[in-house]
Structure 1
Amino acid sequence: MFSVSFEEMFLLEAIMYKVILWGGFIMGVEIFQVDAFTKEPFKGNPAGVSILDRERDDTWMQNVACEMNLSETAFLTRRKDGFELRWFTPTREIDFCGHATLASAHIIYETGLIDKEQTVQFFTRSGILTACIKDNGIELNFPAKPVQKVDLLGLSDALGVKLLYTGLNADMYLAEVSDEDTVKTLKPDLEKLLRLPASGIIVTSASSIGKYDFVSRCFAPAVGINEDPVTGSAHCLLGPYWQGKLGKSELTAYQVSKRGGYIGVKVVSDRVFLTGNAVTVMRCELL
C-alpha cells in the first residue's frame, strides 16, 4: 500500500500551493528582509525590500511597511536607467534612508537584476543615489549633510547627559558627549525627545577602541522608531563632523545599539561614501 510521511505530505502541499500561485489564481508580491551594515544575520539594521512589477499607491505601500514593522521598508520600481526607490517607516514615508538603500542594492545584486560590475542608480526624494560593489562591501554615494552649531533647549534634559556640542541639519540633531561609555549606557526619555522639533537625534563620541574612529546611537520617536539599530543617513552628518574634528577623510564608525553595525565612511567634497555589508535573512510572498 502506498503511503507518504508527514514531511512528504507537507512538501507536496507546498508545491501545490506554489502551482496555484504561479497559475495566476493568487498573485503574490515578493518581499525580502535584509540585515544591513553587518556580515552576520540578526545583527545590523533590518530592512524590508520589495521590487514591484508595477506602480502601487501610497496607501498600499504604507500598509505593507506597517505590516513589516521594521524601521524602513524600501519599494523599488524598475526604470530604464535604474530604479525608483521610496522608503516607508511603519508610520510615514521619509525622504532618505541609508540602510534600506544598502539592503536594496544588496537584493538587486544578489538576485542578478544587474551585473555586479555595474553601478546601481536610484531615483529618490533626495536626488540620484548610487551603489556599487567594492572589495570590502557595497559603497553608497550620498550627499554630505554638515551640521551647524545650535542650542536646542531641552535636549540635554531629554538625553539625561551633559552635551559637549549640538548641531543641526534640516530636522536632524547631532549631539556629542564625553565618551563612548556615555553613548553606550544612554537611557533617553523618549517622551521628552518626542516633544522636541526633530525627526531624529544622533548621539556620538570619539571611540576609545582603535578598531573604529567614532561611535553613535540614533533615536527617532517622531517617525515611529524609538532607536534605530544602524543609521546610514546619520553618517552623512557624522562623516563631515568627525572629519573636521579628527582631521581625516576616511573613517570607521560603529553604531553601538543592541544589534550594532559597522560603517566605512569617506568624505569627498560634498559627498559621503558609506560602505557596508548586508545579509538576506528572509524571503516571503505577500498575498
Structure 2
Amino acid sequence: DFETMSGPLIVKRKDHLLQLDFPSRKPEAAEMKEGLLKAFSISPKEVLKSRDWVLVYDSEADVRALKVNASLLSPKQFEKGGIICTAKGDGVDFVSRFFFPGGALFEDPVTGSSHCSLIPYWSEKLGKKEMIAYQLSERKGYLNCTDLGERVLIAGNAVTYMTGEIEI
C-alpha cells in the first residue's frame, strides 16, 4: 500500500502480474485550443477531458503513425496531466500513447494513470468490463484492465531494475 496525493494506491500480485487499484476518471467531451491540436500530425475524431486530455482517433494505425510537435505543447498549457491519444485496437481492445509536456520523458512508456480515463471510456464504448490495452510507445506494454465503476484495476508485468535499502 502506498499513500499518494490522490489517496491510497494498493498494489497486489495477481498470478504473474502486478495489479493496481486506481480511482476511475471518466473523460467528458471538451474543446481543446486549436493551437494545441496543431501539435498533432493527425486530427482526432473526438476530444475529451478528465485530468488528462483524451484524443480519440479512427484507428490503431493513426495512433501508431501520429507525430507530435513537442515545441507547440508548453507545460504551462496544462494544469496537471498530459495528452492521451487512443483508438480501438486491431488485436487488443484499445491502444494508446501518452504525452507529458515538461515531463522527464515527453512520451511515457506505459502509463497506469492514463488508463484511469481510458478504461471507463472504452468500457462504455465496447460494452465490456474487462479489456486488454496496448500502449504503443517505443518500449510498449500490455495491460489487463477492469472497470469496476468508481475504481479501475490495471494489471501488467513489471521488471526489477533496481533494489536498495534505506536506513532511517
Q: Does 1:201 align with 2:83?
A: yes
> Is 1:138–1:275's contact at 8 Å kept on the other side of the alignment?
yes
Task: Give me the whole-angstrom Cα distance separating, in 2, the residues matched to 1:227 and 1:261.
Answer: 13
Deviation digits for residues 79-108 of structure 1 (CA, Å, limit 9, x no counterpart): xxxxxxxxxxxxxxxxxxxxxxxxxxxxxx
User: Which amino acid in structure 1 is aligned with residue 127 of structure 2?
Assistant: G
Q: Does 1:159 align with 2:47?
A: no
Query: Secondary structure of the equivalent of 2:42?
Result: coil
Number of residue pairs aligned between Structure 1 and Structure 2? 163
C-alpha distance 130-200 of structure 1, shift in aligned 2 (>3 A): same
- Equivalent residue number for residue 134 of structure 2: 254
> Is 1:136–1:275's contact at 8 Å kept on the other side of the alignment?
no
Larger radius of gyration: 1
Task: Give me the whole-angstrom Cα distance separating, in 2, the residues matched to 1:234 and 1:132.
Answer: 19
Task: Give me the whole-angstrom Cα distance separating, in 2, the residues matched to 1:188 and 1:265.
Answer: 27
C-alpha distance 259-148 of structure 1, shift in aligned 2 (>3 A): same
Structure 2 unaligned residues grouped into runs of 5+: none
Query: Secondary structure of the equivalent of 2:106?
Result: strand
Query: Secondary structure of the equivalent of 2:159?
Result: strand
Deviation digits for residues 91-140 of structure 1 (CA, Å, limit 9, x no counterpart): xxxxxxxxxxxxxxxxxxxxxxxxxxxxxx21110101111111241111
Aligned counterpart for 2:11 among listed residues 131, 137, 144: 131
Deviation digits for residues 153-203 of structure 1 (CA, Å, limit 9, x no counterpart): 123311121211111113x10000111111111110101122672230000
User: Which amino acid in structure 2 is aligned with residue 146 of structure 1?
Assistant: K
Deviation at 1:266, TM superposition (A): 0.2
- Equivalent residue number for residue 243 of structure 1: 123
Task: Give me the whole-angstrom Cα distance separating, in 2, the residues matched to 1:145 and 1:131.
Answer: 19
Task: Give me the whole-angstrom Cα distance separating, in 1, the residues matched to 2:149 and 2:161.
Answer: 36
Aligned counterpart for 1:225 among listed residues 72, 90, 105: 105
Task: Give me the whole-angstrom Cα distance separating, in 2, the residues matched to 1:228 and 1:237.
Answer: 16
Task: Give me the whole-angstrom Cα distance separating, in 2, the residues matched to 1:282 and 1:263.
Answer: 22
Identity, in percent, stands at: 38
Q: How does 1:92-103 map to 2 (within 5 A)?
A: none
Query: Secondary structure of the equivalent of 2:26?
Result: coil
Task: Give me the whole-angstrom Cα distance separating, in 1, the residues matched to 2:111 and 2:125.
Answer: 21
Q: How does 1:259-278 map to 2 (within 5 A)?
A: 259-278=139-158
- Equivalent residue number for residue 86 of structure 1: none
Deviation digits for residues 199-233 of structure 1 (CA, Å, limit 9, x no counterpart): 30000000112xx1000000002334311011010
- Equivalent residue number for residue 7 of structure 1: none
Task: Give me the whole-angstrom Cα distance separating, in 2, the residues matched to 1:175 and 1:133.
Answer: 32
> Is 1:141–1:271's contact at 8 Å kept on the other side of the alignment?
yes
> Is 2:120–2:149's contact at 8 Å kept on the other side of the alignment?
no
Deviation at 1:285, TM superposition (A): 8.0
Deviation at 1:284, TM superposition (A): 6.2
